[in-house]
């Protein structure tokens, strides 16, 4: 009888004890946002994987460079020669592996690259206004310890259903991004060799139209 009483008492104490506090997802993503927005520049190697249920998966890789809110260069080594460049006024999209004789040129969207082709800015610029964050787990990307946060859009018109970000516990910068688009495609961008606040030549954000390639304005 005494053992039963002790077991019941222990159970009552456990039930009354507060649950271990969950990691504060809003604080973690907020810290990453502040660090990201304070950067003069960021450079990283990337591997991008697009899993699309309608077509075969595709993997690409290259180098990403960003300076400020309105300049971005994604230059691909695989497929070679492909590029997405935001020069502060226009977005240039060149995909010679599929359309070798033209480059698309668009005026920078009114909302800036946050709403266009800068995936990192989509997620880390003003996240408190745009997403409901949820802490998922601790993890590692390579040798880096990260916190994994899920972001569900809290405002309309964002082009994806949810995103997951792997944020470095030391420097707060993203090491992996996973976006589930409305059509079901999943885009994963993994970053490595991240360098920040280095001088970036202006030519980094200049797209030179190859000979024989026509510009198509949209």
Sheet strand arrangement including 214-217:
131-141, 144-153, 160-168, 174-181, 186-196, 42-51, 58-66, 71-78, 80-87, 90-94, 102-107, 214-217
> What values do phi and psi take at 59, rounded to 5?
-120, 135
Quickly state the pLDDT bin for 23 (edges 50, 70, 90): confident
The pLDDT assigned to 204 comes to: 95
The pLDDT assigned to 108 comes to: 81
**Domain-by-domain residue ranges, the chain?**
23-60+114-199
Check: CB of residue 49 under 8 Å from CB of residue 187. Answer: yes
pLDDT (tens digit, 9 = 90+) per residue, 168-193?
A: 999 999 999 999 988 888 999 999 99
Tracing tokens 């707060």 back to the chain, one arrives at 172
User: 69 vs 72, which has greater pLDDT?
Assistant: 72
Rounded Cα gap, residues 42 and 67, in angstroms: 7
pLDDT of 3 above 70: no
What mean pLDDT is reported for the chain? 85
Tracing tokens 């797209």 back to the chain, one arrives at 207
pLDDT (tens digit, 9 = 90+) per residue, 127-164?
A: 999 999 999 999 999 999 999 999 999 988 777 899 99
Q: What is the mean pLDDT of residues 101-109?
A: 89
pLDDT of 15 above 70: no
Check: CB of residue 168 under 8 Å from CB of residue 196. Answer: no
DSSP H helices in 47-201: 119-124, 127-130
Tracing tokens 């060799």 back to the chain, one arrives at 193
pLDDT of 51 above 70: yes
pLDDT > 90 fraction of the chain, expressed in percent and rounded: 64
pLDDT of 5 above 60: no
Q: What is the mean pLDDT of residues 202-207?
A: 94
Fold of 23-60+114-199: outer membrane lipoprotein receptor (LolB), chain A (2.50.20)
């Amino acid at each position: 009888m005494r053992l039963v009483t002790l077991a019941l008492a222990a159970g009552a104490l456990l039930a009354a004890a507060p649950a271990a506090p969950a990691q504060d997802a809003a604080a973690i993503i907020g810290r990453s946002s502040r660090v990201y927005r304070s950067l003069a520049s960021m450079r990283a190697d990337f591997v991008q994987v697009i899993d699309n249920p309608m077509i075969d998966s595709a993997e690409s890789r290259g180098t990403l460079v960003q300076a400020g809110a309105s300049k971005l260069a994604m230059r691909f080594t695989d497929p070679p020669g492909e590029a997405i460049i935001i020069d502060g006024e226009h977005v240039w999209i060149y995909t010679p592996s599929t359309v070798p004789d033209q480059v698309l040129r668009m005026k920078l969207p009114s909302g800036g690259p946050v709403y266009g082709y800068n995936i990192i800015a989509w997620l880390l610029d003003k996240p408190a206004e745009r997403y409901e964050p949820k802490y998922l787990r601790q993890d590692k990307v390579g040798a880096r310890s990260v916190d994994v946060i899920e972001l569900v859009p809290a405002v309309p018109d964002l082009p994806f259903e949810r995103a997951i970000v792997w944020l470095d516990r030391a420097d707060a910068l993203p090491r992996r991004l996973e976006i589930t688009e409305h059509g079901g495609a999943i885009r994963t961008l993994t970053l490595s060799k991240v360098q920040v606040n280095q001088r970036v030549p202006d030519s980094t954000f200049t797209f030179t139209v190859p000979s024989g390639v026509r510009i198509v304005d949209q």
